[in-house]
């Protein structure tokens, strides 16, 4: 059976029992799971659904001997289709202020996400989960830029000086970054087709 690449979400990772706010101390990585009871209590339905679906997929994969890899993606930023633009009402963004304060508000470009799926499918040594994001929103200017993307409106007045602080990033994707570097450099061979060294498309 060929490998299965399961697309999950960063929201299945970041909502621990202590939440994702400014008091967060641990760094979220591939070993982290969102707490189901916490998600239910605070009605984080996107996180709850993504966590349950990924855990179910892993259980089925292990039970049936399926070679599965999970890509836990950040908030997808892509060129919107008419009437389908990203808005603040997107279910991923429930609890966004806490994500930002906790240093775990992450976004991903559609091109990077696609490349990550290709690398995860074709690289022979991949295993487990991979956090996939292009940017962790930790600076005030990044937060303002994202807010304007979600709700285009005239710029608000500058925030007070005590709000102009950089939030420590508490999410890391070193595992995927290593995979992408190795894959792009041609370390791996495309499986089963004799095409030789591999490369990602230039973007």
Going by C-alpha positions, the residue among 4, 18, 89, 19 that lies closest to residue 54 is 4
Terminal alpha carbon distance of the chain? 31
Annotation says 145 is catalytic = no
CB-neighbour burial class of residue 4 (10 A; exposed 0-12, middle 13-18, buried 19+)? middle
User: What CA–CA distance (Å, rounded) separates 187 from 69?
Assistant: 19
Please give the order of strands across the beta sheet that includes 75-77.
75-77, 106-109, 135-136
The pair phi, psi for residue 115, each rounded to 5°, is: -60, -40
Cα distances (angstroms) measured from residue 97 to each of 1, 15, 68, 163:
42, 13, 33, 13
Beta strand pairing status for 68-73 and 135-136?
unpaired
User: What CA–CA distance (Å, rounded) separates 47 from 6?
Assistant: 16
Catalytic residue among 41, 43, 50, 178: 50
Active site members: 50
């Amino acid at each position: 059976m060929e490998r299965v690449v399961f697309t999950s979400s960063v929201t299945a990772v970041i909502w621990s029992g202590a939440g994702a706010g400014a008091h967060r101390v641990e760094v979220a990585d591939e070993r982290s799971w969102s707490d189901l009871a916490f998600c239910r209590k605070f009605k984080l339905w996107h996180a709850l659904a993504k966590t349950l679906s990924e855990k179910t997929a892993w259980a089925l994969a292990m039970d049936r001997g399926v070679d599965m890899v999970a890509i836990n993606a950040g908030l997808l930023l892509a060129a919107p289709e008419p009437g389908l633009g990203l808005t603040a009402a997107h279910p991923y963004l429930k609890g966004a202020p806490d994500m930002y304060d906790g240093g775990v508000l992450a976004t991903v470009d559609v091109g990077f996400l696609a490349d990550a799926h290709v690398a995860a499918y074709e690289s022979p040594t991949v295993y487990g989960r991979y956090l996939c994001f292009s940017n962790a929103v930790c600076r005030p200017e990044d937060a303002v830029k994202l807010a304007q993307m979600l709700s285009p409106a005239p710029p608000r007045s500058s925030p007070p000086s005590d709000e102009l602080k950089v939030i420590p990033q508490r999410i890391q994707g070193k595992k995927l970054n290593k995979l992408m570097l190795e894959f792009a450099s041609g370390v791996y061979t495309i499986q089963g087709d004799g095409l030789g060294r591999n490369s990602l498309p230039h973007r």
